Structures are given as structure tokens and as C-alpha cells.
Amino acid sequence: MRYLTSALVSEGITDDQFLPRLLARALTEICQTEFEDAVEVADVQPLRARKGPCSTADVMKLVEQNSASFLLVFFHHDQGTSADRVAAEWLRPLRQLWGDRPEQLIAVVPVRETEAWLLTDGDALRSALGVRWTDAEMGLPAQPRRVEQVADPKKVLNDIMGRVSRSTADHFGQLGELVSLARLDDVPAYRQWWSDTSDALARLGYRRV
């Protein structure tokens, strides 16, 4: 039995609520479907030194403070309106600073924002919010892959949650447990994360099926 530890450095507090639960579920599925090894997947641990996004130097400091604690380190940054800018200002500099560290660095880059991934599954939203609205009434795309065409997914999600009278602050963690991985599988950015994670596990010596 192998024990898989991982950490997440994300842009914000909401991302720390949603992504760790989602990524842990997906990691378990990757290990079960793509590798021969029996793996116990530990909870994905958020690393954070401030409320907002970290600089690349901050990321390295957080990782060094937790040296040898994790096999995988997920770095989350929303793509926004420019994939090239994220690559130039964040991903390439961070990989250069990373050098030959033993931890595997894996980017998590939703198009345009993390909230897009929450819009893939109307059933998850209905369950978490306790509503019966149809996908159309919530303004969700007809097909999961089309969430990447939504110009402002954060606004769409905020509008949905704003229609619920009670507090929705705790629902991001719940949605991390509920959003369908099968539906996310149709989203290109998620598929890229899955492929990169599978390759990282192979580099760590996990045996592919």
C-alpha cells in the first residue's frame, strides 16, 4: 500500500474550500483506474500564508517550509482572459524556481475561473443548495465542456447562490464532494490536469495499468 500526500497552493479562500475535496476524489480515481499500485490518498492540504494569491516566491517559501511533507504540490491559478499571460507570469517562472525539487509540481488552471468547474453539474448545485431549479433556470451551459465559454462564471455562480436566502458560505466544500467527475471529464482544462497528474505519478514510480 502506497500513501499519497499532496498540497494545494490556490488563489483564494473559496478555492481552498472547493478544490482540495475535488482533487482528492479525482486523485483516488486516477490511482484506481490508471495504476496498479494500491494507494491510500491523503486529504489534499491547502498551504496559505495570506488571503489572496501568492507570488512565485511565496509559493516556494510555503513549499520549503513543508519540505518532504508532500509528493505532489498543486498550484492553482485561474486562466482569466489569457492563457499566455498565466504561463509567462506564473507557470514558467515557478517551474524555473522549482528546479530539481523532489515534489512534483502540477498546475491547476481552470478556464476562466474555478467557478466554471462548479457549473458543470446542475444536480450537485441543486443538492447543495436545496433547490429544484432546472439547469436552464440557473443559467448553466447545456454541455459541461461549454463552461469554458462562459465569460464570467463567478457571476453566474454568485447569481445562483444569491437567490438562496440562507448563507451559502459552506457550500463550496460540499460542492467539492458532489460535483460529478464524469461531467468534469468533458472539460478540457480538467482533462489537462488529469493528464499532468497521471504523468507526475508515473514519474514517482507508480506502475501504470
What pLDDT score was predicted for residue 128?
93
Q: Which range has the worst mean pLDDT, 22-31, 44-53, 74-83, 90-99?
A: 44-53
What type of residue is 16? D
First-to-last C-alpha distance (Å) of the chain: 16
Contacts of 196 (CB under 8 A, 6+ apart): 106, 107
DSSP summary character for residue 91: I
**DSSP string covering 39-80:** EEEEEEEE--SSSSPPPHHHHHHHHHHTTTS-SEEEEE---T
How big, in percent rounded to 5, are the helix, strand and coil portions of the chain? 50, 15, 35
52 is written with which cell numbers?
489572496
- Banded pLDDT at 25 (limits 50, 70, 90): very high
**4 or 165, which is more confident:** 4
Residue of 116, 146, 108 lying closest to 24 (CA atoms):
108
The tens digit of pLDDT for each residue in 107-163 reads: 999 999 999 999 999 999 999 999 999 999 999 999 999 999 999 999 999 999 988
Q: Give 164's pLDDT tier (boundaries 50, 70, 90).
A: confident
Report the alpha-carbon distance of residue 160 to residue 131 in Å, rounded.
10
Indicate the helix (H) or strand (E) that contains 86: helix 83-86
pTM metric for this prediction? 0.95
- The residue with cell 463552461 is 147
Contact 145, 186 (CB under 8 A): yes
How far apart, in whole angstroms, are the C-alpha atoms of residue 165 and residue 208?
Answer: 48
Alpha-carbon separation of residue 102 from 41, 97, 123, 187 (angstroms): 18, 13, 39, 29
